[in-house]
Amino acid sequence: MSTPTNADRVDSRRESTFSFSGEEEDLDGAAVFTAHGGDWQSIAEEAARLGEERIVVNMGPQHPSTHGVLRLVIEIDGETVREVRVGIGYLHTGIEKNMEFRTWTQGVTFCTRMDYVAPFFQEVAYCLGVEQLLGVEVPERATLVRVLLMELQRAASHLVAIATGGNELGATTIMIEGFQAREEILKIFELVSGLRMNHAYVRPGGLAQDIPPGTTAAIRDMLPRLRKHVKHLHMLIDANPIFHGRAKGVGYLPLSTALALGVTGPILRSAGLPFDLRKDDPYCGYETYEFDVPTSTDADAFARVMLRFDEIDESLRIVEQVISRLDAQDRAGGSHPVMVADPSIAWPAQLAIGPDGQGNSAAHIREIMGHSMESLIHHFKLVTEGFRVPAGQVFSQIEHAKGVIGAHLVSDGGTRPYRAHFRDPSFTNLQALAAMCEGAQIADVVVAVASIDPVLGGVDR
């Protein structure tokens, strides 16, 4: 039987995936089985009963790579992959359901934990949706800081994708260099929010606090070191013939298939379409920044790696523009709030973390407890009960490091979401794995997964 093309494989997708019953003959005389429920063991038993020369491999769910608890049920004929079925749900944490039982502000603490490699994107997408329902516009400085953090986060997320992808091919040096580069960015996140991940720093109406003094100077000092690490990482990959051999032509996904499956982000752009919400549907003032949207037409795993390097460069271009604007604000003097002035939404005193990164600062506690009884009562009600959001629904979307992330929020007029649902890019992009792998070698499956760069916390949520 000849190896099918990618287009043939997409057209012949099976409706269901787990056990086989009945068979029919295709044009080449090979057996074709219909799948409709069950589990991988049933598939193996049926295959053994029929005496077919094939093997069903259950890859996972014990963390087959470094992206989360992912299960792949792979049918192989020798070294050739005949079918791939993706099993998810092993990391399910009930984030969306839990958000229905917490205030709108507390919802940030949940959604930031979905894609734990890129938490700021979930925070911004969610808060933009809440702010649309509230009908408020955040202060300019809060928007600048949001863009700053998202672009640093995009670079950090891409570095994890490249580093773990190298590690999955046995290139430990690539992983070490990639994580050293990411560490420079995480130090900035810790300086700003007190945490390296799962920050809950972006809040409906603005930010939890302003960036501390010296942040822009610290970023300017960090950027040369980060670029040096990225350059070394790029050289390690670009000059390595083994990496070229393992990634070029692997995980091929043409533009037509990517569009049919709803794939976005670097995978879609690697197939030649320069779709990026920062350009096509700007938010947070992205239309005021100068940057390009890199693309490729190779549509394979190697192209996605190289594209992520280009996107890191563009993100750092935006970061430099943001810190210049922040410095200009500081030089101009005056007040530059990072939270809306509406007292029904904003807490009565500016939250500031303690010197150890934990809890509230002493100045914050003195402000709410020692100066104004009304502020203390109002603070207590906002923190425990939350603010009310007008009834309605909204869908806000932004350009995540992995593609388009959307937040569908429904309010019944209360202090907590009636419904919160997210379109996570990893969930959608994983649907392309079968199209990337079927007809290829089994060793290429890990390369294809790495090129998608899924994070299962966002897939399962």
- pLDDT tens-digit series, residues 250-283: 989 999 999 999 999 999 999 999 999 999 999 9
Q: What's the confidence (pLDDT) of residue 16?
A: 36
Is pLDDT larger for residue 28 or for residue 50?
50
Whole-number CA gyration radius for the chain: 24
Is pLDDT larger for residue 24 or for residue 431?
431
Q: What's the confidence (pLDDT) of residue 56?
A: 83
Q: What's the confidence (pLDDT) of residue 328?
A: 93
Distant-in-sequence, close-in-space partners of 144: CB < 8 Å, separation ≥ 6: 285, 322, 325, 326, 329
Structure tokens at 248: 């070029």
Region 144-150 average pLDDT: 96
d(CA 376, CA 176): 48
**What does each C-alpha distance from 279 to 204, 244, 292, 399 come to in angstroms?**
24, 31, 9, 10
Digit-coded pLDDT (tens) for 321-377: 999 999 999 888 888 899 998 888 887 655 555 555 555 667 767 766 666 677 777
* Ramachandran quadrant class, 358 (left: phi over 0; alpha: psi -120 to 50; beta: rest): beta
The residues facing 316 across adjacent strands are: none
For 16-30, 74-88, 112-126, which range has the lowest pLDDT when averaged over its residues?
A: 16-30
**Percent residues over pLDDT 90 in the chain:** 55
Contact present, 457 and 114 (Cβ < 8 Å):
yes
d(CA 180, CA 363): 35
Region 201-223 average pLDDT: 93
CB burial of 15-35 (b: ≥16 within 10 Å; e: otherwise) equals eebbbbeeeeeeeeeeeebeb
Structure tokens at 17: 């995936």
In 3D, which of 12, 99, 83 has the Cα closest to residue 47? Answer: 83
Q: What's the confidence (pLDDT) of residue 5?
A: 47
* Numbered ranges of CATH 1.10.645.10 in the chain: 102-340+387-451
Helix (H) or strand (E) holding 122: helix 119-134
Structure tokens at 158: 């891409």
User: pLDDT-derived band of residue 71, with 50, 70 and 90 as boundaries?
Assistant: confident
For 4-8, 277-281, 296-300, 406-410, which range has the lowest pLDDT when averaged over its residues?
A: 4-8
Whether the predicted model's global pTM rises above the 0.75 cut? yes
Distant-in-sequence, close-in-space partners of 417: CB < 8 Å, separation ≥ 6: 99, 100, 104, 107, 409, 410, 411
Contact present, 162 and 309 (Cβ < 8 Å):
yes
Residue at 1: amino acid letter: M
User: pLDDT-derived band of residue 23, with 50, 70 and 90 as boundaries?
Assistant: very low
Region 200-207 average pLDDT: 92
What's domain 102-340+387-451's superfamily in CATH? Cytochrome-c3 Hydrogenase, chain B (1.10.645.10)
Q: What's the confidence (pLDDT) of residue 18?
A: 38
Q: What's the confidence (pLDDT) of residue 48?
A: 67
User: pLDDT-derived band of residue 141, with 50, 70 and 90 as boundaries?
Assistant: very high
What single DSSP character describes residue 353?
Answer: B
Looking up tokens 């995540």, which residue turns up? 400
Region 6-29 average pLDDT: 43
User: pLDDT-derived band of residue 439, with 50, 70 and 90 as boundaries?
Assistant: confident
